[in-house]
A and B are shown apart, each in its own frame.
Chain A
C-alpha cells in the first residue's frame, strides 16, 4: 500500500505542475514572462519539473513504468504549452512592431455613390403610393395632341395649347404636330386606353414647359401623378389617400387642405396643401377625373369615377432638403450630389 501511496503522491504532483504551468503561461503576455515561466517550470538546474523527476527515485519498482510514462506525457504537454505561448507572444509582438498608430489620421477613402435627390424623392413617393396599391407607370415624352390635350379635355382654342406655351417639334414628321409632354397625365390616358377599371397608377417622369429658368422654375421638371378609377370613388377617397400619403411622407398625423382650383381634366378641381413645418404648403393639384376624360378613353362616367392628383417633385425635394434654387438640381455638381 505504501508503494501505491508514493505513486499517487507523485502523480498528484505532476498534475499540479501541469496546472500551474498552464495558468502561468496563460497569464504571460510577452516573451519575457514566458521565459520566466520556462525557468520556473522546466529550468535545467532548478526547474520544478526537475524536482518532480527526482521523486521518481522513491517510487516502488513495480510502479516505475507507470510513473515514467506519466512523467513523459506531462513533460510533453508542458513543452506544447510553451510552444503555443511562444507563438502567441511572437504574433503579439509582430502586431505591435510598428509602435502605436496615430488613430486620428484619416481612414482610407471609399467612394460612395449617390442617387440624385430627385430620384430619391420619386422613389419615396413610389414606395408610399405602392403601399396604397398604386402601380408606377411611364410613357413617351414626345407626345401627340390627343394624349397631351384633347383626351384631357383641353380644347384646341385653350391657351395651354399655344405654341409659345409648349415645346412643339419644329419639323412636322406626321400629319399632326408633336410636342414634348407638358404633363405626365398623358401616361394616364395611355394606360386608361389600354386597361379597364379598377385602376390605380402613378405616372412619373420628365415634363417640359417653356418657363424662364429661375430659382423656382425650370423648363424641364418632374411630375408624379396619381390616378385611381374605381366604381364609387369620391373626393373623400381622394382626401383620405392624400392624407395617408402626407402622413407617410412627412411623418406624424399630417393634415391636408383642399382649396378650389381649375384644371381642364378634373372637376371639381382643388389645390392640395399639406401642413409642413407648422404652415400650409402647396403640394400640387388634384380633383375628380372629369367625365369628359373618362369618356375620351372609353369609360362610362355613369358607372365609374376616379380621382387624380399631381405633385411637383422638384418643389417637394427642394423643401425636403432646403434647396432654395431648383436649378441646383440640374447643375450636376458632385459637391451638391454627394450630400444626398
Chain B
C-alpha cells in the first residue's frame, strides 16, 4: 500500500516529520518499505499484513495515525444530489451466485463528459504509482485507494438487455479484459454478465467491451462485495492480479460498499458533470456480522506480562472504532465493520498491545530452569557426522527434490516409484528422492567441473519412500528414512573403512559389543554400484530381524562417466534411523589388559571361495578370548605353488590375556586350536 502524505493529511493532522510518523506506524503494525519524494508530495510504501484490509485505503491508515497521536479522524460524508429518474427504470441487477457475491449495488449517472482529470487528482494518483486514464476511471481508482473498496464503472450503453447478472463463469467461456487480452474462464470464477455474455471478471478486472471511453455519456457504477475464493481463482488462474483482486482476496469493509458508491458518484458529478439517477440498484444483503467480544479486566496483563491501565485500554479500542457495549466498564465490545479479523478476546488484547507498544513488555521475566537432553536420534546424527568430519569430509546439503535422471537411479530403500510434487522445487526437479547418493555424486561432479576433482562429501538428510502394499511400519503413507551418505575417492575398502568408522563411532560392530549384535557385509548388486564390488551392511540383534542398515561399494563407471567424473569413486549410504536403535551412545569402560601381548602369524591355505569373515570367525571362536586383534596381511593365489582354486591367507594375530601373562606355550596351543578349527570349518591347512 503506497500512501500519499498530502492525501493522508485530508483525514488527520499529521506530525511534522514523515520519518517519525513512519516509525510510529512501523512499531504499531504497518511495516515501512520505502519513502520517496513525488513532486511536492511524499510517497510512503507500507507493508500491510493480510489480516488488515482496512489499511489498504488512506482512511484506514489515517485511523491508525489518529489513534497513535490521539487526534480526531475526519471522514467525508458524501451526499450526491439525485436529480435523475428512478434508477430502477428499465435496469436491474441480480445475483445468481450468492456464494461469490453477497451484495451488489449500482448507481447510474447520465450525460457526463469523459475527459482529463484535474491536476490534483492526477498528482495524487501519480504519487501512489497510478497513471491517469480519464476522469471517470481515475475517480473509481481514487475512491478505492481512499477507502479500500474496489469500484468499477461500466459504459451503460454497452449493457445489453437491461439486466446485469452476477454469476459463475461457464467452463470455456471467453472474456476480453480492458488490457485487450482474451481469457478462457472456468466455473471457479465469477463474472458480471449481461444478456450477451461477461462484461467484467468480478472483483478482478473490467471488460474491453463496456470500457469507459471518450464517447461514453452514461455510466453504471458498481460497488459490491465479492467473496475471496472466486476472485483468487481468477487472479491466480489467469495470472491477472489487480489492486481490486488484492483487496477482495482480503475482504474490504462491507460498510464501505454504499459509502464508496456515493463518494464516487459525488466526485463524478463534481468533475465530469451529468445527472445521478435516484437511489441505487441493490441485490443481495450486506454480510456484516459483528460479534460481541468480552474482555476480562485482567486479561491484558495475563497475556502481556505488564498491565495497561483500564482507561487507556478503553481509549485505544474506542479510537480504533470498537464500540463499547452496555455492562461493566470496558468489559464488552463490538468490533467495527472494517475489523472482521477481531472477534475474540485475544484479538482485543493484541489491538491494545500494538497501539500501546511492545516496548512496554518487560524483558527480564524469570524463566524456571529445566533439565534437557539431546535425543538419541540427535546424538546418532551428530556422532555419525563427527566420524566423517574427522576423516576430512565436508558436509553437503543437496536438494530433497531431484530431476527424473537422478530419481531414476534405483534406491536401496524401496522399489516404489518416487513421489512427484507440483510445482517443481526448481526447474525440472519434481521427484522426492529415495536416496541421497545420486545427489552427492552430482555434487562431486559439480566440484570436479569447478576444478576440485577430489571433493569428499557427506550428507545427513531424509529420503522419501512411498509405503508399498506390505505391512506398514509407522503411520503415514510415506516412509522417511534418515540417511547418511558419503562419496569419496578410492575403492571399496576405502568406503567400507569409512562406513566402519561411522559404525564404530556409534558403538556398533565394536569388538566389545560383538556378543550382543553382529554387523555383517554381504555381497550386494544394486545401483549406483559395480556388481561384485559392493556390499549391503546387515545388522543382527537379539530379538530383532536382521536389517539392512547400509550399502557400500564402488560407484559404477556408467554413473561416473555421464557426470564427467574420473578416477575411482566409492560411496556408502547408512540408515541412521535403524542404527539409532542399536547405537551404544554411552559405553562402560573395558579396561585394557596390563599383561604383555604376543604376536603370531597364521598362514592358511583355503579354497579361493572361502570368505575372510568365515576364517576370522573360526579363529576367534577357538581362541577363548585371547585374540585382541586379527588382521589380514596378505591374500594371494598361485596355481603352481598352492594348487588350482586355492588361496593363501596370511593373518597377523595379537594375542593377550586379561588374566595373566600369556606364555609362549599357551599362545602356541591357542594357535594350534585355531588351525584345527579353521580346518574343521573352512577346510584350511597350515602352510609351512
Residues on A facing B (Cβ under 8 Å): 110-116, 118-119, 130, 132-138, 140-142, 144, 157, 159, 162-164, 167-171, 173-174, 178-180, 198, 200, 206, 208, 210, 213, 219-220, 230, 234-237, 239-241, 243-244, 256-262, 267-271, 288, 290-291, 305, 329-335, 337-338
Taking a contact as CB atoms closer than 8 A, the residue among A116, A169, A179, A230 that contacts B397 in the complex is A116
Of A113, A163, A333, chain B has the most CB atoms within 10 Å of the CB of A113
A138 CA to B460 CA in the complex, in Å? 13
Question: What 0/1 pattern do residues 391 to 404 of B give for CB contact below 8 A with A?
Answer: 11111111111000
| Contact, CB under 8 Å: A261 / B363 | no
Nearest CB to that of A287 among chain B residues? B350
The answer to whether B51 has its CB under 8 Å from any CB of chain A is yes
**B347 sits at the interface (CB 8 A):** yes
Chain B 357-372 interface mask (CB, 8 Å, partner A; 1/0): 0110111111111111
A113 B389 Cβ-Cβ under 8 A: yes
List, in ascending order, chain A residues with CB within 8 A of B421's CB: 167-170, 179-180
A65 to chain B, nearest CB (A): 45
A335 to chain B: closest residue by CB: B452
Asked if B373 is an interface residue, CB under 8 A from chain A, the answer is yes
Judge whether B349 and A178 touch: CB under 8 Å.
Answer: no
A140 and B29 contact, Cβ closer than 8 Å, known pairs A220-B399, A262-B52? no
Q: Chain B interface: which size bin? A: 35 or more
Chain B residue with the shortest CB-CB distance to A262? B49
Residues of B contacting A210 in the complex (Cβ-Cβ under 8 angstroms) = 423, 425
A206 touches B400 (CB 8 A): yes
* Selected interface stretch from B461-469, B523-531, B623-631: B461-469
Task: List 18 other contacts, CB 8 Å, given A219-B426, A333-B450.
Answer: A110-B392, A113-B390, A114-B394, A116-B397, A119-B385, A132-B367, A135-B375, A141-B462, A142-B432, A157-B228, A162-B232, A167-B425, A206-B400, A213-B426, A220-B399, A236-B362, A262-B49, A271-B31
Question: In the docked arrangement, what's the CA distance between A114 and B389, Å?
Answer: 6
Could you jot down 10 A-B contacts, CB within 8 Å?
Answer: A110-B392, A173-B477, A178-B478, A206-B462, A236-B362, A239-B363, A260-B354, A262-B51, A333-B446, A333-B452
Please report the C-alpha to C-alpha distance between residue A330 and residue B402 in the assembled complex, in whole angstroms. Answer: 13
B420 touches A170 (CB 8 A): yes
Contact across chains for B423 and A167 when beta carbons are under 8 A apart: yes
- Which of B363, B365, B398, B461 contacts A332, CB < 8 Å? B398
User: In the complex, are the beta carbons of B420 and A334 less than 8 A apart?
Assistant: no
- State which residues 225-251 of B face A: CB under 8 Å: 228-229, 232, 236, 249
Bound-state CA distance A172–B363 (Å) is 47
Q: Are B365 and A268 in contact (CB under 8 A)?
A: no
Choice from A113, A119, A267 contacting B392 with Cβ under 8 Å: A113
Q: Is residue B66 contacting chain A, with contact meaning CB distance below 8 A?
A: no
**Nearest B-chain residue to A337, judged by Cβ:** B394
Which of B28, B249, B374, B377 is close to A260, meaning CB atoms less than 8 Å apart? B28
Q: Which of A140, A167, A332 has the most chain B CB within a 10 Å cutoff?
A: A332
Tell me the dominant secondary structure on chain A's binding face: mixed
Interface segment among B85-93, B180-188, B302-310, B679-687: the answer is B302-310
Partner of B362, one of A178, A240, A290, A333: A240
Asked if A140 contacts B420 (CB within 8 A), the reply is no
A219 close to B425 (CB less than 8 A): yes
Do A269 and B305 touch across chains, with their CB atoms under 8 A apart? no
Q: Using a CB–CB distance below 8 Å, which chain B residues touch chain A?
A: 26-29, 31, 49-52, 228-229, 232, 236, 249, 302-306, 344, 346-347, 349-350, 353-354, 358-359, 361-375, 377-378, 385, 388-401, 419-423, 425-426, 430, 432, 443, 446-447, 450, 452, 455-457, 461-462, 464, 466, 476-478, 480
Which of A137, A270, A291 makes the CB contact (< 8 A) with B346?
Answer: A291
Decide: B455 and A240 in contact? CB cutoff 8 A: no
- B395 pairs with A220, CB closer than 8 A: no
Complex Cα distance, B433 from A180, in Å, reads 13
Residues of B within 8 A of A240 (CB): 362-367
In the bound assembly, the distance between CA atoms of A171 and B358 in angstroms comes to 46
Contact partner, A112, options B49, B236, B363, B392, Cβ 8 Å: B392
Contacting pair A135 B373 (CB below 8 A): yes
On whether the beta carbons of B344 and A291 are closer than 8 Å, the reply is: yes
A258's partner among B51, B228, B358, B478 (CB-CB below 8 A) is: B358
B428 to chain A, nearest CB (A): 13
Q: Do residues A332 and B369 form an inter-chain contact, with CB atoms below 8 A?
A: no
Q: Judging by beta carbons under 8 Å apart, are A173 and B464 in contact? A: no
Given A116-B397, A142-B480, A240-B364, residue A261 in contact with residue B29 (CB < 8 A) = yes
Of all A-B residue pairs in the complex, the 4 with the closest CB atoms, nearest first, are A236-B305, A111-B392, A133-B370, A234-B305
- Whether the pair B398, A200 counts as a contact (CB closer than 8 A) is no
Q: How far is the CB of A110 from chain B (nearest CB, A)?
A: 8
In the bound complex, what is the Cα–Cα distance between A119 and B458 (angstroms)? 13
Contact in complex: A118, B397 (CB < 8 Å): yes
Chain A residues, Cβ within 8 Å of B371: 133
On whether the beta carbons of B461 and A206 are closer than 8 Å, the reply is yes
Knowing A116-B396, A270-B358, the reply to whether A332 touches B367 (Cβ < 8 A) is no
Q: Which of A111, A170, A173, A261 contacts B49 (CB 8 A)?
A: A261
Task: Write out the residue numbers on chain A whose beta carbons fall within 8 Å of the beta carbon of B389.
Answer: 113-115
